[in-house]
Structure 1
Amino acid sequence: KYVQYGLMVEEQARSESGKQVICRALETVDSLKMHSAIVWRLRSFSTNHSSS
C-alpha cells in the first residue's frame, strides 16, 4: 500500500510539475518580500540613527 501510494505521489508530482514551479515561484516572491522588508528596516534604522 505504501509503495503504491509513493508511486501515485510521484506520478502526481510529474503531472503537476507546473504547479510545483508556481509554488516555488511564490515561495521565492515571499522570501524576496521578507528580504526587502528587512533591508528597508535596516535602512530606516540607519537613517534614523545618523539623523539623531
Structure 2
Amino acid sequence: MEKFMHAIQFAAYKHRFQKRKDPDQTPYINHPIGVAHILSNEAGVNDFDILA
C-alpha cells in the first residue's frame, strides 16, 4: 500500500499543472485514481504494483 500511495503522490506532483480536456478541467491525476478504483472494486485487482 505504501508503494501505491507513493506512486499517486509522485504522479500528482509531476502532473500538478496538467488538466483533463473535460468541461470541468479536472486535474489529470483524477483519471488514474479513478481507474485504480474501478480495477480494485469492480475487477477485483488487489495487486498494488498493478494499480500503481
**TM class, shorter-chain normalised?**
0.3 to 0.5
TM-score (norm 1): 0.36
Higher helix share: 1
Normalising by structure 2, report the TM-score.
0.36
Which is bigger in relative contact order (C-alpha 8 A, separation at least 6)? 2
Q: Larger Rg: 1 or 2?
A: 1
